[in-house]
Amino acid sequence: MSLVLYAIKGHQRAAKSLIAAEYSGVQVKRVENFQMGVTNKTPEFLKLNPIGKVPVLVTPEGPVFESNAIARYVTRLKADNPLYGFSLIDYAHIEQWIDFSSMEIEANISKWLFPRIGFGVFLPPAEEAAIVALKRALSALNSHLASNTYLVGHSVTLADIIMTCNLHMGFSRIMTKTFTSEFPHVERYFWTLVNQPNFKKILGDLKQAESVPAVQSAKKPAQPKKEAPKPKEEPKKEAPKPKAEAAEEEEAPKPKLKNPLDLLPPSKMILDEWKRLYSNTKSNFREVAIKGFWDMYDPEGYSLWFCDYKYNDENTVSFVTLNKVSGFLQRMDLARKYAFGKMLIIGSGPPFDVKGLWLFRGKEIPQFVIDECYDMELYEWKKVDISDEEQKERVNQMIEDHEPFEGKPLLDAKCFK
C-alpha cells in the first residue's frame, strides 16, 4: 500500500503518524520537496484539503487530514495493533488521553507560544490564562504519571505517541527547565519516550528551550498603495455633529475589567510585605514572623480560613498525596496576588491527613477562586474566629510548621506565597 504524507519536515504534528508507522511496520513516504506556502496553495493540494493545511496523508482510498486522524488511520492498518491496547477499556483510555493531550496540552502551549512568535496578537491576560490552564493540565498529567510509566497499560500506545509529540513543541520552544521542574514525572516520561529508538528516528535529538521567546509583532497584511493625492478643493465647513451621532461613528474604548478584589477599600495589610517577612525570617520565627503577621493583619480587608481535605482515607501513598497538594497549589496561581497559604501533610504513615490555612483578600473566599480552582470543593472550609485563642494558636502553628501538629508528626509542609 502506497501512503504519501504532505507535511513540514520535522514538525511534531507530522511526527505523530510517522512514529505510529514505525511501531506498526507501515511504510509512509513523506513528500520530499514540500514547501509551506507554495505546495499547499496549488489546486492539486487544495483538492486534498480545501483549507490548505498540513499534514495530509494520501491513501489509495482517498486523502486524510488532521494529524490525530492520520495517526489513527496508520495505527489501524495493523490488525490487533498493541498501540490501541488490548481491551475495550484500554481503547477508551487511549482515546481519552489523546483528547486530553490535544485540548489541554497542545491547545494551551499554542496559546502561549504562537502570539510570542508573531502568529497572533500578544495579550498579557490571554497569555496568563493559557499558562494557568497549561499548569493545571500538566499537574493532572504529573499526578497520573506518578504511579504509571505510560498513559495506558505497560507499553507505548498511540496516546503516548500523540502526547509526546504535543509536549515536544512545548519542551523545545517555550517550556524551560525552570517551568517543567514543577512536574518531575512529566519530565521523566517525556525524556524517556523521546529517547526510544522509534521516537528518536523521527524526532531526532532534542534540546530543551533555555528561555521563553521574546514577543514579536504579529505579521500585518500589506497595505494597498495610495494613489497620488488629487488637487484639493477648498473644504466646506460642516456644522459639528451631535454627540450621539459622533458616538455611533467612533465607540469609546471599553475600560478593562478589574478583579472585584481590586475594587475593595484599601487595607492596612500589604500582602507582599507579609510574604517578604515570612520568606526572610530564618530564626526566632515566633517572635519575628508570627508577631509581625498579627501586627499587619487587617480583619476588615482580609480573612483567614482553615481547610481540611474531605477524603483523607484515600491518602495511602505518600508521594501521591504530596503531588495532590502540589497540584492544588499550582492551580491556585490565579490567586497569587490575593492570597497566602500553608498546607500540611500530617502523619508518620498512611492514611495521611491534609490540612491547610489560607489568607484571602476580602471577608469571604473570592468567588473567582471557587469557580476556577476545582480543588476547592475537595476541602471543608471554616472561617477562623480570631477572637478564639485556640483557633489563633492553631493559625500560629500552621504558619510556623509546628511539629508535632495536633499530636502527629509532619510528613511535609508546603507554602503558597
5-43 tens-digit pLDDT: 998 877 888 999 999 999 999 999 988 888 888 888 888
User: What is the pLDDT, as a whole number, of residue 240?
Assistant: 56
**Cell (9 digits) for 190:** 517525556
Q: Is a pLDDT exceeding 90 seen at residue 383?
A: yes
User: What is the pLDDT, as a whole number, of residue 134?
Assistant: 95
Q: In this structure, is the dihedral angle defined by the CA atoms of residues 326, 330, 332 and 335, taken in order, positive or negative?
A: positive
Q: Is a pLDDT exceeding 60 seen at residue 234?
A: no
User: For residue range 300-352, what is the model confidence (pLDDT) as tens digits?
Assistant: 999 999 999 998 888 888 888 888 898 889 888 889 899 999 999 999 989 99
User: What is the pLDDT, as a whole number, of residue 244?
Assistant: 46
Over residues 186-200, the mean pLDDT reads 95
User: What is the pLDDT, as a whole number, of residue 246?
Assistant: 44
**Cell (9 digits) for 237:** 465647513
User: For residue range 119-152, what is the model confidence (pLDDT) as tens digits?
Assistant: 888 888 889 899 999 999 999 999 999 999 999 9
Q: Is a pLDDT exceeding 50 seen at residue 102?
A: yes
Mean residue pLDDT of the chain comes to 88
Q: Is a pLDDT exceeding 50 seen at residue 116?
A: yes
The position carrying cell 490552564 is 133
Label residue 389 by pLDDT band (50, 70, 90): very high
Rounded Cα distance, 97 and 325, in Å: 23
| pTM for this model (two decimals) | 0.54
Residues with Cβ < 8 Å from 6, sequence gap 6 or more?
A: 30, 31, 34, 39, 40, 45, 48, 54, 55, 56, 57, 58
User: For residue range 48-72, what is the model confidence (pLDDT) as tens digits?
Assistant: 888 888 899 999 999 999 999 999 9
With contact defined as beta carbons under 8 Å apart, do 159 and 98 qualify?
A: yes
Residues with Cβ < 8 Å from 281, sequence gap 6 or more?
A: 288, 289, 292
Residues with Cβ < 8 Å from 53, sequence gap 6 or more?
A: 40, 65
Q: Is a pLDDT exceeding 70 seen at residue 362?
A: yes
Give per-residue burial for 345-384: e unless 16+ CB within 10 Å, then b. bbbeeeebbbbbbbbbbbeebbeebeebbebbeebeeeeb
User: What is the pLDDT, as a whole number, of residue 130?
Assistant: 92
**Where do runs of H (alpha helix) occur along 119-257?**
124-145, 158-173, 177-180, 184-194, 197-203, 243-249
User: For residue range 202-225, what is the model confidence (pLDDT) as tens digits?
Assistant: 999 999 999 998 887 655 444 545
Nearest to 369 by CA among 377, 130, 302: 377
Q: Is a pLDDT exceeding 50 seen at residue 405?
A: yes
Percent over 70 (pLDDT), the chain: 90
Q: Is a pLDDT exceeding 90 seen at residue 226?
A: no
Return phi, psi of residue 212, to 5°. Answer: -80, 130
Q: Is a pLDDT exceeding 70 seen at residue 393?
A: yes
Q: Is a pLDDT exceeding 80 seen at residue 237?
A: no
User: What is the pLDDT, as a whole number, of residue 51?
Assistant: 87
User: For residue range 242-286, what is the model confidence (pLDDT) as tens digits?
Assistant: 554 444 444 445 555 678 888 899 999 999 999 999 999 888 999
Over residues 385-394, the mean pLDDT reads 95
Task: Identify the H or E element spanning 395.
Answer: helix 389-399
User: What is the pLDDT, as a whole number, of residue 239?
Assistant: 56
Nearest to 411 by CA among 314, 327, 343: 343
User: What is the pLDDT, as a whole number, of residue 316?
Assistant: 86
The position carrying cell 496576588 is 337
Nearest to 127 by CA among 39, 248, 24, 212: 212
Q: What are the contacts of 375-379 at 24+ separation with CB within 8 A? A: 375/327, 375/328, 375/331, 375/332, 378/309, 378/310, 378/311, 379/307, 379/308, 379/309, 379/310
User: What is the pLDDT, as a whole number, of residue 230?
Assistant: 58
